[in-house]
Amino acid sequence: MNARTPADLEAALADLAAPVKLLFFTQTFGCDTCVSARAVVDRIASLSARITVEEFNLVLDKDAVRTFGIRRAPAIAVVGEADTGIRFYGVPEGHELISLVEAILLVASRDSGLSEESRARLAEVEAPIDIQVFVTPT
């Protein structure tokens, strides 16, 4: 999957296996990158009729912020039939854009793509695990 180019991934979105919602969390003041992030989300959504976008306000939509555990804006929650726990903070550019598209494909396929061994280890987990991966576009 790492060998895929952005163009390949965009093409893959056209054949999405199931509907995916992108929940976009924005903030009216003090968010320089929210407009750019929303533009990326809209561009991705334009590539597939099965991707829909819902926008929430970090300050005003407290229920959604709490339900999805959102901490900052801009944020994107990738939601399939149910919430998956996958979040992107910041403008998805470069590698992060590819990661977001891959996340959408995984959510639609309902398959983590992990090895049997990894799945078995994760199946034993009964406590909350919060993973934050700090990344840069290049």
Identify whether 74 is preceded by a cis peptide bond (ω within 30 of 0).
Answer: yes
Nearer to other proteins, 19 or 85 (CB): 85
Binding site for other proteins (CB under 8 A): 33, 69, 72, 84-93, 96, 99-100, 106-107, 110-112, 114-115, 117-119, 121-137
Nearer to other proteins, 6 or 69 (CB): 69
Report the C-alpha gap between 135 and 115 in whole angstroms.
Answer: 24
Report the C-alpha gap between 11 and 40 in whole angstroms.
Answer: 16
Report the C-alpha gap between 71 and 89 in whole angstroms.
Answer: 9
**Least distance (Å) from other proteins to the CB of residue 62?**
19
Nearer to other proteins, 63 or 130 (CB): 130
**Least distance (Å) from other proteins to the CB of residue 116?**
11
Nearer to other proteins, 6 or 137 (CB): 137
Report the C-alpha gap between 62 and 64 in whole angstroms.
Answer: 6
Sequence length of the chain is: 138
**Least distance (Å) from other proteins to the CB of residue 1?**
12
